[in-house]
């Protein structure tokens, strides 16, 4: 018999991420639904609020809540192929550090969220903003917020996927966990979308809060993911 074999984590990470992105490109099961949901929500807000322009906390809330709820569609589907097609067993049989699966799924979800925002933030700007001056700093806030959402969403999705009530469980557990993230994200976005152009009141504090949230949930995911995959 031979010594144990161990596949380098970067190779396992690349394999799983590549497989997820290839499957999504081929089937378009998550991203179009997320984008359509977000755009439809903006239309509903536009007519529901009867406003052609939004600013400050209202604009921040409309943007973040829409992105968050659209993200839940992707989070619910993140591990479906692993559950339905035996991917969990395949990964558990392989000589890999299971945190490679966590890292690959966080990265896949992060890619979905970034692509989603590339589509829907310009739509939001056309619907509700008077100027595009805030879009560059807004992108920084969204990237940090997406990373935290991807880490938390991956963790919750991996726990919910084997439950029969997974479509309910994921949002019910996820939403309370992302309250701090939502407070920080909307806190950072609010001055950027203020009347009269972007402001940066406590911007650094909110970015640091987002970064801290990201770090905590990435570390928690790394620490517990191996146990979540055990029988």
Partner 1 sequence: MESGERTDGPALVLAGLRRDFDERPALDGVDLTLCRGESLVVLGPNGAGKTTLLRILATLLRPSGGEVRVLGAQLPGEAWKARGRIGFLGHEPLLYRDLSGRENLRFHAQLHGLRGEAAEARIERLLTTIGMERRAEQRVAELSAGMRQRLAICRCVLHEPELLLLDEPDSNLDAEGRELARELIGPGESRARVLVTHDPERALPDADQVLRLGAGGRVAVA
Q: Rounded to the nearest whole angstrom, what is the least distance from the CB of residue 100 to partner 1 in the complex?
A: 9
Closest CA to 62 of 22, 19, 121, 18: 121
Alpha helices in 78-128 (DSSP H): 80-84, 87-93, 99-128
Residue 14 lies near partner 1 (rule: CB under 8 A): yes
Residue 167 lies near partner 1 (rule: CB under 8 A): no
- The token pair at 205 is 């504090």
Check: CB of residue 37 under 8 Å from CB of residue 69.
Answer: yes
Question: How far, in Å, CA of 111 to CA of 66, rounded?
Answer: 17
Residue 227 lies near partner 1 (rule: CB under 8 A): no
Residue 22 lies near partner 1 (rule: CB under 8 A): yes
* Interface with partner 1 (CB under 8 A), residue from 6, 132, 220, 223: 6
CA distances from residue 178 to 6, 150, 216 in whole angstroms, order as listed: 35, 11, 12
* Interface with partner 1 (CB under 8 A), residue from 21, 23, 216, 228: 23
Question: How far, in Å, CA of 120 to CA of 42, rounded?
Answer: 9
Is the CB of 55 or the CB of 81 nearer to partner 1?
81
Check: CB of residue 30 under 8 Å from CB of residue 157.
Answer: no
Size of the site for partner 1 (CB under 8 A): 33
Is the CB of 50 or the CB of 230 nearer to partner 1?
230
Question: How far, in Å, CA of 220 to CA of 216, rounded?
Answer: 6
* Interface with partner 1 (CB under 8 A), residue from 47, 51, 103, 230: 230
Contact pattern from residue 82 through residue 121 relative to partner 1, giving x for each residue in contact according to CB under 8 A and a dash for the rest:
---xxx-xxxxxxxx-------------------------
- Of 43-82, which residues contact partner 1 (CB under 8 A)? 81
- Interface positions with partner 1 (CB under 8 A): 1-8, 11-12, 14-16, 18-19, 22-23, 26-27, 81, 85-87, 89-96, 230-231
């Amino acid at each position: 018999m031979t010594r144990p074999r161990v596949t380098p984590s970067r190779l396992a990470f690349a394999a799983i991420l590549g497989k997820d992105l290839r499957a999504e490109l081929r089937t378009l099961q998550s991203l179009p639904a997320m984008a359509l949901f977000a755009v439809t929500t903006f239309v509903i807000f536009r007519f529901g609020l009867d406003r052609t322009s939004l600013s400050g906390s209202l604009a921040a809330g409309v943007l973040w809540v829409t992105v968050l709820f659209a993200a839940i569609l992707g989070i619910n589907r993140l591990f479906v192929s692993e559950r339905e097609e035996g991917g969990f067993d395949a990964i558990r049989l392989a000589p890999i550090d299971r945190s490679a699966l966590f890292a690959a799924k966080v990265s896949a979800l992060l890619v979905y969220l970034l692509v989603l925002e590339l589509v829907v933030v310009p739509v939001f700007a056309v619907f509700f903003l008077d100027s595009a001056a805030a879009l560059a700093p807004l992108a920084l806030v969204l990237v940090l917020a997406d990373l935290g959402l991807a880490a938390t969403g991956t963790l919750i999705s991996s726990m919910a996927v084997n439950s029969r009530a997974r479509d309910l469980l994921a949002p019910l557990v996820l939403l309370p966990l992302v309250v701090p993230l939502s407070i920080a994200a909307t806190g950072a976005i609010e001055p950027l979308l203020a009347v009269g152009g972007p402001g940066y009141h406590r911007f650094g504090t909110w970015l640091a809060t987002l970064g801290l949230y990201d770090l905590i949930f990435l570390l928690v995911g790394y620490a517990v993911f191996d146990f979540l995959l055990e029988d």
